[in-house]
Structure formats: structure tokens, C-alpha cells
Chains A and B, each alone.
Chain A
Amino acid sequence: MRKNMTPFYLMVIPAFLLFFFFHTLPMLMGVFYSFTNWNGLSPSYKMVGFKNFLNVFQDPQVYSAYGFTFKFAILTTVIVNIISLAVAVGLNSRIKLKNTLRAVYFLPNILSMLIIGFIFNYFFSNILPDVMSKAGMSGLAFNILGSENTAWIGIVIVTVWQATAFNIILYLAGLQTIPADLYEASSLDGASKWKEFWHITFPMIAPFFTINMVLALKNFLMVFDQIVAMTGGGPAKSTTSISYLIFTDGFQGGSFSYQSANSVIYFIVIVVISMIQLKILQKREMSLS
């Protein structure tokens, strides 16, 4: 039977047009501007070819933003996944207060990152140094957001606090798809809990691991709200992420086309990384199951 395709086209065409107009078109314009010297304001601009791109490659500020962003994103992805997997396994075992605990662990996911950032900002600036000095650890009694070497740790902590929630729930969902008889078989074999985890649990939730890793890394590479709320990119650019650099520098006079070039490069980088990650993790998934 041949389907009448007209209604299907009518369903998707408006969506396609709107999406093109509000997403693809601005993106193409952004790419176009990256080849100009437009400052975002002037009535006129001229084409400058690849000059902006060449400048981006020579800009230590851009390199340091990539450095911070990747250090942050990779580390946070790893920490978030380790913690959330551990908590999910815990929540899936025979415990009391299961539902309450699950509810508490998911709570941060529904809260605004910006406001959480403001709250943690106060915590790092005022509470933590106080606690440390009272505990006799005066060496640690400083605001970690105020030091070039430690400010990024503050950003990691607040992000882990918030982002773990979502991944816990995903892993928990994965764990619940594992049939109980698999474990019964292994416990008859006398396998240790650790072995059981690596041989049964982990392969079974590998697809969840894949999706968590990819989504988490992608989200963390876009880190923005936390930085606005806590450090403003400082001290001395040490927590300036790529998104934050593009936003502030692109809008604050003179650098719009330049930062457009930066964001085009960033786009390519993100696509490449996601592709590689998917390939590697899917291969792993195959070999595990």
C-alpha cells in the first residue's frame, strides 16, 4: 500500500522552516561574519578572508580558554560518571529509604545553575575559609575561587553537585533493566561483588554509559552559567571558558567577527570530539556485550 505522503510533508515543513530560520540561518550568518571585520555595531564592514581564523590560532587567550574548558570538561565528566554510577549502584541495592534517597539525589537537577552558582560563591568565599581556619587548617583557609590555581576546582565542585543528579537517574534506569536471574547465576558461581559489577552490571549498562559520557562532555564543554555566577572568568582568565570568552569578548566591542571565527572552530572541535567519542564507546559496547 502506497502511503499518502502529503500530510507528513505538511507536518515537517513548518518545523523545518522555523528551525532553519531561527537556528540554521543565524548560524550561517555567524559563519559569514567570521570572514568579515564587523564589530557587531558598525553600519559597514568588509571581508577579510581567513584573517580572523589565523589570528585565533595565534591567540594565547583562546588557547588558555580551550585549556581550561577541556581540563574542566574531561575531569568533570569523569568525576560525575564515577560518582553517579556508584550512587546508582547503591540506590539499586537493598537499602532503606530508597525512594526518599532517590528523590534527594535527583533534586539538584531541577535547580537553576545560576542561582546555585551564587549560593556556592558565598559558600567558597565566606563559609569554607571560616570552617578551615576553625579546624586548624589555616593553609586551606582561603577562598578557592580567588586563586588562579584553584578557582577551576570550585567550578568543578558546583558542576558535579548539580550534574550528578541526572546521571544517577540514567544509570539507575539502566540498572533496573538488568534481569535479576543474571545475578543469581553469578552468585551461585561464588563471584565477588567487584567481579560481578565488571562482568555483569557494567556490560549491561554500557549503552547508558555511552550516552552519559557523550552528553555530559558536550554539556560541560559549553560551561557558562557557573562562570557568570562565580568567577566572571577570573582570576586572571583562569576560568574563562570558550563559551564565556565568545560571549563577553564578542559583545564587548570590536571582536564580534573575531569571536565568530572562534566559535566556528569550536563548533568543528565539538563535532569531531563527539564523533570520536561515539565511535570509541560504541566499539567498546560491542566488545562488552
Chain B
Amino acid sequence: MSMKRTNWPVTILLVIGSLIVLFPLYMTLMIAVKSPQEMADAVLAWPKEWHWSNFKEAVDMTNFSHAFQNSSIITVFAVIFTLLTNSLVSYAVARNMDKRLFKMLYFYFVSALFVPFPIIMLPLVKEVSKLGMNNQTGLIVLYVVYGIAFNLFLYVGYLRSIPAELEEAAVMDGASVWGTFWKVIFPLLSPINATVAILTCIWAWNDFLLPLIILSKPSMATLPLAQYIFQSKFGVQYNYAFASYLMALLPMIIVYLVAQRWIISGVVRGAVKS
């Protein structure tokens, strides 16, 4: 049957399309490893000489290791606490959707998705700095709290597919609601937990606006923020600028290359279940 044959025209089209996707990254790499002279000759050609020193220069100019550390701390803690707290809240909501109060709560959280961020921006900055939370800790708390809006949507969708009999059995055996959640439900949530973890990780790592307004000192800057802060420092030293862009993108790319299948299936699961 024709269904079994490889569809070559489509394969070729998709390969061409994938080159478009890869091109900006290729360009970034080429500029990052060239000298200004070589770049002037041919920006996109394969370099004759690899100027790795551009990266060293970029590290010094943008305080890369601090920014990397800040981004890592914020992302890791945001992910951990999002998983632990958001799943719990979603469980309580999902199992009581028949009650008016919980249903309202569900819509309360989810409707926050429609609030444009600018409206809360300045009051938020005031509030957060009054509490002395204009630092990494505050940022983590905000990611965890704001994450509820979308994660609740994902978790509740998934929890509905888990038959209630499982918990009822546990409750019969005398387990508390908390015990049931941590011992029975939470492990069952691992697929959707993976999804939430991935989405939170991508968000926290790449976010720009929230760190921009919350973090009060340049020493706290995350990677995108550091790129923004030091943008003026590069001037026309494009090679250093691109070396630093590449370094800021690279950690995520590496994680992605290693865990690519897992990440994509995680995102897919989120989509299907919601």
C-alpha cells in the first residue's frame, strides 16, 4: 500500500523548513567565533579561524557566571515549589469541582490568565519592594504564585482522568487526605508534573519583564536581563555580543538536546489532557 512508502517530497520540504529554523542559530555561531575582520569579509561563511577568546571577553563583559547562577537558582526553585504547591491546590480544586466555592476558585485562578500584566506591574513593584522581596526569593515566589493560573488548568484536566476509586480505596484504608495525595495521587501525576516542570522551567529561564521590574540590583540579574543591561556595553563589538547571546542560549539548548523527546512529549501531554 502507498501508505507505507516514505513521502520524499514532504521530507525534503520539511528539511528545507528546518534550515530556516536553524539559520539564526547558525548565524549567531558564525558571528560569535569570528574576528571583526573576518566577519567583514563574509559573515556567514565557515570561519577559517575560531576565535574562542570572544567567549572569554563576553563572559567578562556581562558577568556571565553570576547571571548564570542567578538564573539557575531561580529556575530550579521555581520549578520545585511550583510542582509541590500547584499540584496540591489543583487536587483540592479538582476533587471538589461540584462545590460552588471550589468551582469559583477554579475560575478565579484561571481568569487571571486574561489580566494584562502591565496593569499590575507598578503596584506590584511597590508591594514587593516594601516587603523586601525585590530579589531572587521574591521572583521565585511570584513564579510559583502566578504559575497557578495555567498549571491549575493543566492539573485539573489531568486529575479528572484519574478515577476517584483509587483514592477512595486509600481513604477506606484509613489514609488522611494529605497522605492520599502524597502517596497515591502525586506519583500518578508524574507525567503532568513533567509537563508543568518543563513549562515552568522554560518560562522562568527565559522571562524578561518580571526580572526587569522586580530585581533591584544589577548583581541579581538573570541571563536575559544581563543581556539587556549589558547591551550598550558591546557597542559595535558584534562578535562579543553574539558570543554572549550564544552563551545565554546554550544552557537551554544543551538541556533540550539531552532531554528532547521527554520535553516534547511532556508538552504534548499538557496539550492533550487540557
Q: A-side interface residues toward B, CB under 8 Å?
A: 4-5, 7-9, 11-12, 15-16, 18-19, 21-27, 29-31, 33, 40, 87, 90-91, 93-97, 99, 101-116, 118-120, 122-123, 126-127, 130, 161, 165-166, 169-170, 172-174, 177, 183, 187, 208, 211, 218, 221-222, 224-225, 228, 242-243, 246-247, 250-251, 256, 259-260, 263-264, 266-267, 270-271, 274
Contacts and interface: CB of A to CB of B under 8 A. Distances in A.
Nearest to A266: B116
B228 A228 contact: yes
Interface string B36-54: 0000000110000000000
Given A11-B92, A91-B14, A250-B118, 10 more contacts: A8-B95, A21-B127, A30-B119, A106-B267, A111-B206, A122-B31, A161-B20, A222-B116, A224-B209, A267-B119
A116 B227 CA distance: 11
A9 B92 CA distance: 8
Contacts of B146: 22-23
Contacts of A224: 208-209
Interface in B74-120: 85, 88-89, 91-93, 95-96, 102, 105, 108-109, 112-120
B142 to A, nearest CB: 6
B113 to A, nearest CB: 7
Contact of A104 (B22, B141, B224): B22
Nearest to B85: A15
Nearest to B274: A211
Given A113-B206, A123-B24, A96 B242 contact: no
A30 B120 contact: yes
Nearest to A260: B119
Nearest to B255: A110
B127 A26 contact: yes
Contact of B114 (A18, A103, A274): A274
A110 B256 contact: yes
Contacts of B18: 101, 104-105
Given A25-B127, A93-B7, A119-B242, A111 B121 contact: no
B264 interface: yes
B259 to A, nearest CB: 10
Interface string B226-252: 011001000000100110010011001
Choose among A96, A105, A123, A259 the residue with the greatest number of B CB atoms under 10 Å from its CB: A96
A4 B252 CA distance: 44
A166 B20 CA distance: 16
B93 A12 contact: yes
Given A11-B89, A169-B268, A172-B268, A246 B231 contact: no
B188 interface: no
A9 B252 CA distance: 38
Contacts of B22: 104, 107
Choose among B14, B116, B128, B227 the residue with the greatest number of A CB atoms under 10 Å from its CB: B116
Given A127-B43, A211-B274, A251 B122 contact: yes
B122 A250 contact: yes
A8 B21 contact: no
Nearest to A229: B228
A7 B119 contact: no
A222 B260 contact: no
Interface in B204-228: 205-206, 208-209, 223-224, 227-228
A101 B116 contact: no
A252 to B, nearest CB: 12
Contact of B116 (A4, A208, A263): A263
Contacts of B115: 23, 27, 267
A7 B178 contact: yes
Contact of B268 (A8, A96, A173): A173
Contacts of A247: 118, 121, 209
Contact of B15 (A101, A110, A112): A101
